[in-house]
Structure 1
Amino acid sequence: MKPEYTEIPLIKNDALQQFEITIDGYKAFIKFHETPGHFTLIHTEAAPELEGKGAGTAVVEKTLEYIAQSNKTLIPLCPFIFAYIKRHPEWKKQVAPEFKGFND
């Protein structure tokens, strides 16, 4: 994540079922479904004004950190998050055991 994004807070918006960050007045977010044991991460999106600026990566990293601190697992249905975890296998430990999408 870009250093200038480290202090931007992650908001868990339960009403919209999304994790969000705001950069320069624009949002990047991840749609989720929460159960008592895990989060299913469904879709990642950044405002067009944020494309190519690392906002998607920032919201993914902040969301993964939040999930880890919550002692929950995740199911990465979103292709962007799935690809991020493939590139950063240290996050596979947060993936729910029932998710069989990674061929280890």
Structure 2
Amino acid sequence: MTDTLTASAVRDNKSANRFELPVDGSIAFANYRTAGDRVIITHTETPPALRGRGIASELVKGALGLIRADGNKVVAGCSFVVDYLEQHPEYADIKG
């Protein structure tokens, strides 16, 4: 992972309904849809060249931070986010 890669680099691309983390000229992303104050993350994807570097975890961490900051709840609609939330109980307050 590059030294500049942090969860704070995650951005919410509202027009595409996805959280994005740019890395080395590529973009890891997490698609979502909303339902009231719930953000349902439906799919996460890391480009093959970036896999195995913890980028998906940083992406989800950043997305959860943005969701929390907006006062919303998260619903895990993909297995990666389900697993991440199970491993990080500090996000229990925003699980919806």
TM-score, normalized by length of structure 1?
Answer: 0.83
Residues 17-68 of structure 1 show CA distances to partners (whole Å, capped at 9, x for unaligned) of: 1000100001110000023312011011001111001110110000000011
Q: Tell me the residue number matched to 1:31.
A: 31
Distance in 2 (CA, whole Å) between partners of 1:31 and 1:7 is: 16
- Structure 1's unaligned 5+ residue stretches are 97-104
State the one-letter code of the partner of 1:65: G
Q: Tell me the residue number matched to 2:47.
A: 47
Q: Tell me the residue number matched to 1:5.
A: 5
Q: State the 4+ residue runs in structure 1 displaced beyond 6 angstroms.
A: none
Please say which structure displays the higher CA radius of gyration: 1
- Structure 2's unaligned 5+ residue stretches are none
1:79 positional shift: 0.6
Aligned: 1:84 with 2:77: no
1:80 positional shift: 0.2
Task: Give the % identical residues.
Answer: 26
1:3 positional shift: 5.4
Aligned: 1:74 with 2:74: yes
**8 Å Cα contact 1:2-1:54 kept in structure 2:** no
1:12 positional shift: 1.2
Q: What CA RMSD, in Å, does the superposition of the two structures yield over aligned residues? A: 1.9
Aligned residues: 96
Which one has more relative contact order, counting CA pairs under 8 Å at least 6 apart? 2
TM-score, normalized by length of structure 2?
Answer: 0.90
TM-aligned CA distance change 1:67 to 1:18, over 3 Å = same
Distance in 2 (CA, whole Å) between partners of 1:30 and 1:7 is: 13
